[in-house]
Amino acid sequence: MPNNREVRLASRPTGWPTEQNFEFADSEVPEPGDGEVLVRNVFMSVDPYMRGRMNDVKSYTPPFALHETLQGGAVGRVEASNNASFSIGDYVSSNLGWREWFISDGRGIGKIDTTLAAPEAYLSVLGGTGFTAYVGLLDLGQPTPGETIFVSAAAGAVGSIVGQIGKIVGCRVVGSAGSDAKVSWLRDELGFDAAFNYKVEGIEDALARLCPDGIDVYFENVGGDHLQAALNHMNPFGRIAACGMISQYNNATPQPGPNNLSAIVRQRLTIRGFIVSDHADRRPDFVRDMSAWLSDGRVKDRVTIVEGIDNAPAAFLGLLRGENIGKMLVKL
């Protein structure tokens, strides 16, 4: 049998993680027993929330355990099956990433329809990433036509889909990103009304320039300076959908927050944090809408692919540094 390589947590980082926080382990690929299937992962996802799981802090998902295989979204191909529900050649999604092969009794894996989209799309636009954008923008942000949406980390996996949904529902969409190439992609390819490179122009200045009518919905992926600047431009009754605050994840010690939180009261803002898994009731709506938007070309999916499980830690670290455009995936 071929070798099965896995990635494990070697140590917990303080501040920015490094490759030394990861370790590899090899084993023989096991044989599936009665009722089991053998899956070969073909793509795995790296996501910002995984940084939180590297800390020994109670959260909505438990911390990664030291010296145990990491977890995360993956899609794979059934290579052997003793389970009547799965056939060789089926593609399945799971939370068993960071490994090349795994055995399952069928729980925790779900067949995906590769006639509708490529397998990797189920880790990006048709997966948790797209669903996060959908729920966060529509249910928490509650945009109405003509309103202005600002999305930070707009060229990231979630942000890029948020902006495209924002255009579909008739809003003006403004995004921030960390390179001129990302800014061009948002404006020229995805149809954002405006975008800016926050490493070149101050966020405050950019929002004054690009959101002359204020911000009605802020889709928050970054926190810190982005949140402070957005608060200064929020319109009365504005909504902030708080999906993540990636600028804070690698602080070795907690950093002070925005100095203008009293805008929450003055402008009667609503800030709501969310985790997409709490919104499973909306999945059928998401699948229906996103499939239609993909097939008629109104939503475009872009992935940045890193090759090989040996490079998975580097892919994750690159994600935290913003090296991806669109969804960051590892091809196994």
Q: How far is the CB of 264 from a second copy (least distance, A)?
A: 4
Q: Which is nearer to a second copy, 84 or 265 (CB)?
A: 265
Q: Which is nearer to a second copy, 80 or 271 (CB)?
A: 271
For residue 75, count CB atoms less than 10 angstroms from its CB and return exposed for 0-12, middle for 13-18, buried for 19 or more. Answer: buried
Q: How far is the CB of 188 from a second copy (least distance, A)?
A: 31
Q: How far is the CB of 229 from a second copy (least distance, A)?
A: 13
Distance between CA atoms of residues 221 and 274, nearest Å:
11
Question: Half-sphere exposure of 1 toward its Cβ, with a 13 Å CA cutoff?
Answer: 16
With tokens 């089926």, the residue in question is 90
Distance between CA atoms of residues 159 and 153, nearest Å:
6
Q: Which is nearer to a second copy, 245 or 319 (CB)?
A: 245
**Quick one: which H or E segment has residue 76?**
strand 74-81
Instruction: Using CB under 8 A, list all residues that contact a second copy.
Output: 52, 59-60, 223, 227, 236, 242-245, 248-249, 254-275, 278
Distance between CA atoms of residues 219 and 239, nearest Å:
8
Distances (CA, A) of 183 to 218, 228, 244, 251: 18, 21, 20, 26
Q: Which is nearer to a second copy, 51 or 182 (CB)?
A: 51
Q: How far is the CB of 68 from a second copy (least distance, A)?
A: 22
Q: How far is the CB of 249 from a second copy (least distance, A)?
A: 8
Q: Which is nearer to a second copy, 32 or 258 (CB)?
A: 258
